[in-house]
């Protein structure tokens, strides 16, 4: 899942794909690099400029329509918590609603059911939309992730979303300090064991930066290490900035596990 930001203030790309033509070029590039999903977002997750419902729609709806026409086979995800925005993007071809804020708008599941699309159910520990966590405490962060994402997923099913279209996301950094995100990564197999597809959004996150004492633009290696661990534990979807490097890591882990054949095996034979 490749990230495509229609924002002026993304923490990583700093507005590099704000212009629609730049966003479309980014989509072309990531699809060519092997992305199977593009995740389009119109609002920075962290605190920042206020983006109202109408402005968010203006940033993402036309882009979704253009991507749908340009890449008919790619899965289009939209990062939004608003049901009204979800309905607008689904009407022009979105396949997946990526709710990074854990059901802040309870009607989003109804939109997913109405349009027969997928939904990502995240764990945020109950923090308000677009706020940073402060002194979050859990008796067991993984148990909280399991309980909250399961409850959200079951609510989506009751609303009419097909079970095989429901994804869960432990949401690294969201409602968590670094120790929490590290523990979630270490014990990700417990979430995978529940049988629902697991998405991880690890790319250049603060838990990587704090672990290695590195700024945002130097976190790729740490991100890929966390990706390899998550892959070994069975995560299915990876929301990323760097598609090619992530694809290589996932293919290598799959090959080591015996699920994928090496591209060639000539060493010692010729």
CATH code for the domain in which residue 203 is found: 3.20.20.20
Q: How many CA atoms lie within 13 A of 17 on its CB side?
A: 27
pLDDT of residue 160: 98
Model pTM?
Answer: 0.96
pLDDT of residue 66: 98
pLDDT per position as a tens digit, 175-194? 999 999 999 999 999 999 99
Reported in sequence order, the residue ranges of 106-202 that DSSP labels E, i.e. its strands, are 118-122, 166-169, 199-200
118: which 2 tokens? 């997928």
Q: Specify if 270 maps to a domain.
A: no
- Which stretches in the chain have pLDDT values below 70? none
pLDDT of residue 98: 98
Q: Is 26 helix (H, G, I), strand (E, B) or coil?
A: helix
Q: Answer whether 117's CB lies under 8 Å from 90's CB.
A: yes
pLDDT per position as a tens digit, 112-137? 999 999 999 999 999 999 999 999 99
pLDDT of residue 17: 94
pLDDT of residue 111: 98
Q: Specify if 221 maps to a domain.
A: yes
CA dihedral sign of residues 121, 127, 133, 139:
negative
Q: Specify if 263 maps to a domain.
A: no
CA dihedral sign of residues 240, 178, 154, 81:
negative
What's the structural domain count of the chain? 1
Q: Specify if 202 maps to a domain.
A: yes
pLDDT of residue 49: 87
Q: Specify if 187 maps to a domain.
A: yes
Q: Specify if 267 maps to a domain.
A: no
Range of the domain at 61: 2-257
Q: Specify if 105 maps to a domain.
A: yes
Active site members: 205, 239
Q: Which helix (H) or strand (E) holds 96?
A: strand 96-99
pLDDT of residue 13: 79
Q: Specify if 262 maps to a domain.
A: no
Eight-class DSSP state of 198: B
CA distance 229 to 181: 13
């Amino acid at each position: 899942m490749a990230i495509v930001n229609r924002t002026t203030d993304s923490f990583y790309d700093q507005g590099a794909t704000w212009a629609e033509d730049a966003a479309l070029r980014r989509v072309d590039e990531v699809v060519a690099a092997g992305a199977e999903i593009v995740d389009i977002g119109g609002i920075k997750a962290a605190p920042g400029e206020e983006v109202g419902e109408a402005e968010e729609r203006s940033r993402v709806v036309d882009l979704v329509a253009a991507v749908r026409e340009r890449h008919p086979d790619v899965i289009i995800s939209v990062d939004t918590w608003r049901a009204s925005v979800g309905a607008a993007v689904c009407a022009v071809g979105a396949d997946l609603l990526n709710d990074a804020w854990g059901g802040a708008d309870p009607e989003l599941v109804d939109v997913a059911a109405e349009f027969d699309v997928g939904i990502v159910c995240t764990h945020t520990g109950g923090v308000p939309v677009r706020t940073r966590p402060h002194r979050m405490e859990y008796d067991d962060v993984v148990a909280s992730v399991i309980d909250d994402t399961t409850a959200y997923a079951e609510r989506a099913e009751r609303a009419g979303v097909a079970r095989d279209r429901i994804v869960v996301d432990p949401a690294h950094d969201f409602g968590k300090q670094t120790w929490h995100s590290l523990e979630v990564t270490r014990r990700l197999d417990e979430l995978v064991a529940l049988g629902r597809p697991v998405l991880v959004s690890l790319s250049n996150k603060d838990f990587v930066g704090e672990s290695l004492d590195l700024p945002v633009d130097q976190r790729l290696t740490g991100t890929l290490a966390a990706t390899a661990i998550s892959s070994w534990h069975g995560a299915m979807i990876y929301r990323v900035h760097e598609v090619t490097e992530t694809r290589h890591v996932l293919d290598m882990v799959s090959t080591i596990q015996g699920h994928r054949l090496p591209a060639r095996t000539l060493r010692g034979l010729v």
